Structure 1
Amino acid sequence: MDRLEAYKSIAAQASRGELSFPTNVDATLKLQRALNDPDCHADAAARLVQAEPLLAARTVAIANSVAYNRSGNEVTNVRTAVQRVGFRTLNALGASVIVRQLGSKITEPSLRDKANQLWQHSAHVAALSQVIARRVAHLDPETAMFAGIVHEVGGFYMLSRADEFPGLFDGEADEWIEHGEQMVGRCVLQRLGVPAPVMAAIEALWVGMRALPPETLGDTLLLANDLAPVPSPLYERAGATSRQAAATIDFVIGDGTLNSILEESAAEVSSLTSALM
């Protein structure tokens, strides 16, 4: 089976709902659905989060990040962390656990390296999206962070299936974007219950068109993707030239500029990225 046939085979399975997830992903999806129940209160949420060690650790880490801990008072327990970050951030953190779990069954060293770099890229995009949404685009920062976390979930899924299809990632970027990222990624995002506005933002990222200054969630996600210091290992959307051009992006925002805002927010971005890792 050649690479294109492999893409189409995986995409056909995905479109039929035949997604092969590790068992722990299904468990975390159930936990995330429970957290999204409007009748789930903070104490119940804390108990649910404590049942998933990775989610518990991420929640405390995010609560102590510069973005969420402006008072400088460190929290040391899940209950207080849940109260500080809120349910929308918990939803984003649950998604981060799911994305990482998709890579848990990857054993081939080169594929594991790709998965690790892909998560570093995603964490940077999520942190940058949060700050850009809050300080530049004036959009909901938690939704933007969530979009950054899941924007490459199709890539994680394909990496988790790559041992079944040798040479799956040896092709051109255009093939991956059209048949891997879009066809499979859309199905995985739907399986994870990603809201329609976030789906639309990720689809805008696939197209690659944006407004500057960013006006929409899609604009925000694409700008964060271009500014991320760690590129996706699966493809380079426009090669090294794009990364060099991203470093020159600047525009006026109120009394400041994008670059001045990013400089002021560097500690927040670094803290959020580290907490997500």
Structure 2
Amino acid sequence: MSKWNPEQDGTLYRMMQEVVASAGGSVRGVLWYQGCSDCNPDEAPTYMSRFRAMVDRWREDCGSERLPFLTVQLNRYTAPNPTPEADACWGAVREQQRRAAREIPHVAVVPALDCPLSDEIHNSPAGNLLIGERLARAALSEVYGRPVHCRAPEIAAARLTSPDPAAAEPTIEPTIELTFDYVAGYLLHTGSLERVFTAEDDAGLIPVKQCEIVGPRTIKLTLTRAVRGESRLHGAYERNPVAHLPLDSDTYMPLLGFYGFPISGAQYDENR
């Protein structure tokens, strides 16, 4: 981002200013797809604050405090030998891209995790066409006020539920109920969803044993062990997440990836 941030390097930003000036000096909006180079331990944790500062500066320079930023959450990176550290960095950047659209006015985000690639990291022409259509719908809705649904399913709540002590076969395996916002139709799957989600607590990662879509915008996860201490949930966060993601039946857009989303509800310990 430093190449586009006038508070840092700003090389590409200054070049863009020259192009804008040559076209008359007026900017209607910004389409933003960037972040791969920031997926490292030094820059990933501060992506949100740097993006916010850049948006503020661009809006100031363009003379529009409402200048729309229509953004794309990062697609996957399929190079071999991923590491847990790399996965965490990609998850952190995707999470901040998701949050930016919630927390910064006039910023929208669309997913790209289902778009085909032309190599291990760049979108193919077919992928760019799909992203372009989604950004066009975002512009119609967010900029021009048209009644167009443009938002992808997004995590709204994750609630840890108690094993039923009255069950015929009590289990220490807790479940998590996920609720999603912005589902125009209903959630559907095209394959196994168990590996889409991963819980984490004070003892480490908790793989998901079973994943079921139990309502139009609700998913239930069964964990492989009890939760110990503070817990959080990740979804499609890895550098190269699994291929089968929950989709919105109306738009066929996949969920937005998320990372470190807090899990509410009681905490359990298998030693109780």
Please say whether Structure 1 and Structure 2 have the same fold, judged by a TM-score greater than 0.5. Answer: no
Greater helix proportion: 1
TM-score by length of 1: 0.25
Greater strand proportion: 2
Q: Which one scores higher on RCO, CA 8 angstroms, separation ≥ 6?
A: 1
TM-score by length of 2: 0.25
**Which structure has the larger Rg over C-alpha atoms?**
2
